Structure 1
């Protein structure tokens, strides 16, 4: 028997050990702790995203090491996370694994990163998450992990569960400051809307306000502050249509400014006079405070990053 050929060491041994199916499944089942076939209480679903945070405590211990490991690589030195760490689309676990990876890259930084660490959310992890989403939605329809037909036929999921899944994939697109992603986001929410309307026979009431949703630059901060539908009897249709509106009203902000002005402070960017007026108008929504702004500006001017975890751990 001949000798086995030598193996080449992985350039990402820490990522290989941390970005595991176990982690991705844990994130998905913790974020969506519902039977796939059963109705979801969408009042609680919205509360747990926008008004409370039971998720972080469940996953922080396992997620932080993975986030720290990813942060130690420059963007151009990271592997294709979708290609390397997700199973083949034919794998039974592929759909949940995709969602788990996106929750790690997009949702958890927003929940866990505080102070100067929030720079890592918008200026680093968002780019990785958006790259992954482009790979996923660029797949043929019969392989896309957000497809209603696939979730229904392969996993027996009901429309409630699929609506929840679509939300978590769609937010990645609207968090982007690139206009092409905003256009994709509008297409994405329209796809969701059509499926929900077809399956339920209920029309989206926000359709009558479409012109306002896609033109009002103050609508997103206003609606976000008002919060999701609450109370008894919030249906999947009510939630899906509200969430679609909330995603769509990101686009006019990028159309007007080419970026989210409230991110200028955490990204170390100077605001234009128009942006300063806008930030004042929306009550400094989601803007980093002056102390954090100064620290980020110091890092940006010096061409460096304060290591992830400085303010959050």
Structure 2
């Protein structure tokens, strides 16, 4: 679990029991959602995606992150692929559905980017290509709405070939200040999403997750991890515990979750 001062205790008190319950359902069972035609479906779908994909990243620490990337990420991907396969009018990412529900454009852009997150985080080249198209559709919408062109288009080839782009931009952080606009933030977020793809294109996985998932890094991956300053890599003791758990085919339970 994260530090006690990191997040609102009420949020933690709500989220952690839900994650604990979901840890027991197994990867063969996707949590239920309302029917896609239900007016609440977009918001409910977004909430479930945030719970599965984002909240474990907030509340899990150390060995617990094996659950983040080895379990909850898989559930999140299944939910995302299920809604993505729906007819366009029923999917939760469309502007028209959110507009009909009373949401503004800013809210929808944020929701759409979060709905895309499971594809971005997937260690799968096909999902990365899908995420790229998903983000480009969002970019085009904002460009049409604003009449502006994303300045990152001019260096798109470089972005999609930059193996060290994600660690660098992650450390730099998002644009801040009074001059940040809907357009500048969306264009930055689109670039942040796009620079995940070169890593998967090259390695087929995120090397910095090898330790927390009990995987052995290749020599080439070890060089990349070193070059990126071991960003987001699990500590040595965490890696040792996870490797032992993987060898024994067990899971160390995180914060009250039952072992699988």
Give the structure-1-normalised TM-score: 0.78
Whose radius of gyration is greater, 1 or 2? 1
Which residue is 1:306 aligned to? 252
8 Å contact kept, 1:116–1:310: no
Task: After TM superposition, give the deviation of residue 71 of structure 1 in Å.
Answer: 1.1
Q: CA RMSD in A?
A: 1.6
Could you report, residue by residue, the CA deviation over 1:181-237 in whole angstroms, capped at 9, with x for unpaired residues?
A: 101100110110111111111111111110011111100000010000101121111
Which residue is 2:172 aligned to? 226
Unmatched 5+ residue regions in structure 1?
A: 1-51
**Any residues of structure 2 matched to 1:1-313 within 5 Å, and which?**
54=7, 57-76=9-28, 78=29, 80-81=30-31, 85-152=32-99, 154-309=100-255
Could you report, residue by residue, the CA deviation over 1:258-304 in whole angstroms, capped at 9, with x for unpaired residues?
A: 10000000000111110000000000010000010000011011111
Give the structure-2-normalised TM-score: 0.93
8 Å contact kept, 1:173–1:184: yes
Distance change in 2, residues 1:53/1:213 (3 Å): farther
Q: Secondary structure at the match of 1:75?
A: coil
8 Å contact kept, 1:265–1:293: yes
8 Å contact kept, 2:20–2:256: no
CA separation in 2, counterparts of 1:147 and 1:53?
33
Unmatched 5+ residue regions in structure 2?
A: none
CA separation in 2, counterparts of 1:275 and 1:147?
38
Could you report, residue by residue, the CA deviation over 1:70-90 in whole angstroms, capped at 9, with x for unpaired residues?
A: 1123323x2x32xxx211222
Could you report, residue by residue, the CA deviation over 1:87-138 in whole angstroms, capped at 9, with x for unpaired residues?
A: 1222221111111111110000000011101000111110110110111121
CA separation in 1, counterparts of 2:46 and 2:6?
18
Task: After TM superposition, give the deviation of residue 168 of structure 1 in Å.
Answer: 1.0
CA separation in 1, counterparts of 2:116 and 2:184?
17
Task: After TM superposition, give the deviation of residue 57 of structure 1 in Å.
Answer: 3.6
Q: How many residues align?
A: 253
8 Å contact kept, 1:197–1:203: yes
CA separation in 2, counterparts of 1:236 and 1:268?
40
Task: After TM superposition, give the deviation of residue 157 of structure 1 in Å.
Answer: 2.0
8 Å contact kept, 1:71–1:308: no
